[in-house]
Amino acid sequence: MSELRWNPLLEEWVTVAPWRQDRTYHPPAEHCPLCPTRPGQPETEIPEPDYHIVVFENRFPSYTGDQGRAEVVCYTPDHDSSLGEQTVDHIRDLIEVWRDRTRELSRLPNVKYVYVFENRGEEIGVTLSHPHGQIYAYPFVPPVLQRELAAGARHRRKTGRCLYCDVIAREKGGPRTVIGDERWLAFVPEFARWPYEVHLAPIEHRGGLPDLDEQDDESFALTLKGLLQKYDRLFGKPLPYVMAMHQRPPGRGHGHHHFHVEFYPPNRTRDKLKYLAGSELGAGAFILDARAEETAAELRALVDYLGGVVLPAAVDRFTEASGHSAGEWSITSDVHGGLAYVRAVGEELGVEPQAVSVTSRVPPNAGISSSAALLVAVAAGLRPDLEGKQAALACQRAEQKATGVQVGIMDQFASALGRRGGAILLDCATLEYQVVPFPDEVAIAVIDSGEHRSLADTPYNQRRREAESGDPKRRRHVDSEIARVHAFVAALRARDFDRMGALLKQSHISLRDDFEVSTANVDAIVEQAWSTAGCYGARVMGAGFGGSILALVQRTGTAAFEKAMARPVLFCSTADGAYARRARAGRTSDG
């Protein structure tokens, strides 16, 4: 059995378990003890050839027998997966497992606290890289929870309210909110001790996992998945973290405690970690070199308009980039202002300076993703080995850095991973996507409004902030646009071209009236397109404020349509994005 030693200076227990020195340490994947047992291979901790979720006692436990329990929770047989990559249904099943184990372990003699947690990443000290969590049943209430419970009790005696409920009331809808819905909220606390620390909690008072109902579970799973996906998109690589669940102790007391989950990622930048040194370890005083409001904004920005789905397509208008090593970044290009983009994406990818040459058939400042095409073209030339999603995220961060505009991920994703013959149905919160076939007999028409603009010179950021803060008109557009995307996909699959056109018309009206990003000139052109024979529908493109108009036109009637419009029209077909083709020449289509 492990040995408990009392520290009289801090009045807390220290656990001594010397046999843990012999635990398995960074085995190769083929000898992973948490993978299923494969035919013809040595038996692992899990004798079955496959599994859904498995819980078993740790072979090298910190607590045994009457002292408590140490359990391992394996939630995927995939050695290279992660919690954030599981489906919402799977995470909901995992929540049920956590709840069941909490109830069972709470009944054990001498167990004073049940602690559910996950350590992820070597930076945290993980010795087995296979994704898994753990559950400790302690014979005492751990010091952090003791302090938290005591603070909550004092607040209840003083105010009659739950301390954490008051914290949530201050954070809900504020500048430190990251993600959430009507039942759960994720935020960077004002008092965060780690740069990207996040708390995830039910908005209604709940004491622990056993107190959650089915609706709580659904919202918990959705919000947890969304947060973890944000973490992994933050720096374009898996983010290490400790996930710690703070629930009330077993028994009838501590009704004032509010269940919540705390996340402690050690990163302060992509390649720099925050270490606990003299002040934190020796004095217990945390010093943070980041503002919670700024790190929350970074995490919050990793979606397109609060998440939801979009339906972009890459088309056959290409940007080409080539380059060679140089002492500093430079560009020879017909794209105005391209150097800032090239330098930003190069720095984001960690590439040495290059002299870059760019040619493009994508009209600039016309609302058809010329900047995304440029960034992805350069990224594909510099890092053709990069996974397409990670390339798109790097290009999104580069554009935000180069322009100061909080652009979403849609354009970069389409330019990187678009498919010939299809549109991309993309979930911006999770980056899960599927290809929806697009009919050859429908031409994608891009109509130049004559109003060219840079996003940095428009109220784009203001509109985004208004949407994120819950402005009723802006939010109505976001919600209705998500519904229209789903309806458009259904019409596309049914080849109902008239319905597709009607949805485009509804979309423009919403962009004009609720999101207010159209102009009188654009409205006139859109209405002209609506009334032109052979046009199924039309709407303003991209972020609006001028730029171009998107129309869907009968392929056989393109010449007549252009003549009737009496202005330049670019007719396009869907095309592969740069990373869909794994091109090494840096050639990509716009989104």
Asked whether the CA dihedral 461, 463, 469, 475 is positive or negative, the reply is negative
Measured CA to CA, the distance from residue 297 to residue 306 in angstroms comes to 12
Quote the CA–CA distance of 198 and 167 in Å, as a whole number: 13
Domain spans of the chain, in order of start: 3-300, 305-426+580-591, 439-573
The three-class DSSP label of residue 73 is strand
Fold match between domain 3-300 and domain 305-426+580-591: no
What CATH topology corresponds to 439-573?
Alpha-Beta Plaits (3.30.70)
Contact 526, 538 (CB under 8 A): yes
The domain 305-426+580-591 having CATH identifier 3.30.230.10: the answer here is yes
Break the chain down into helix, strand, coil percent, rounded to 5. Answer: 40, 20, 40
Task: Print pLDDT tens along the chain (591 aa).
Answer: 889 999 999 999 999 999 999 999 999 988 999 999 988 888 999 999 999 999 999 999 999 878 899 999 999 999 999 998 887 789 999 999 999 999 999 999 999 999 999 999 999 999 999 999 999 999 999 999 999 999 999 999 999 999 999 999 999 988 899 888 778 999 999 999 999 999 999 999 999 999 999 989 988 998 898 899 889 878 878 999 999 999 999 988 899 999 999 999 999 998 999 999 999 999 999 999 999 999 998 887 664 444 567 899 999 999 999 999 999 999 998 666 689 999 999 999 999 999 999 988 887 766 678 899 999 999 999 999 888 988 998 999 898 888 887 778 899 999 999 999 999 998 876 677 889 999 999 999 999 898 876 656 677 668 877 776 667 788 788 878 888 888 899 999 999 999 999 999 999 999 999 999 999 999 999 999 999 999 999 999 877 788 899 999 999 999 999 999 999 899 999 999 999 876 434 444 444
For residues 34 and 98, the answer to whether their CB atoms sit within 8 Å is: no
CA distances from 117 to 24, 247, 430, 562 (A): 19, 11, 22, 61
Element (H, E) at 549: strand 548-554
Residue 145: exposure state from Cβ atoms within 10 A (0-12, 13-18, ≥19): buried
The kind and range of the H/E element at 505 are helix 497-513
Rounded to the nearest 10°, the torsion over CA 101, 105, 106, 110 is -170
Predicted structure pTM score = 0.59
The CATH number given to 3-300 is 3.30.428.10
Query: Residue 181 in 3-state DSSP?
Result: coil
Reference 258, options 178, 166, 190; nearest CA is 166
- 132 annotated active-site: yes
First to last CA, the chain: 61
d(CA 175, CA 186): 12
Among 26, 90, 132, 260, the one annotated catalytic: 132
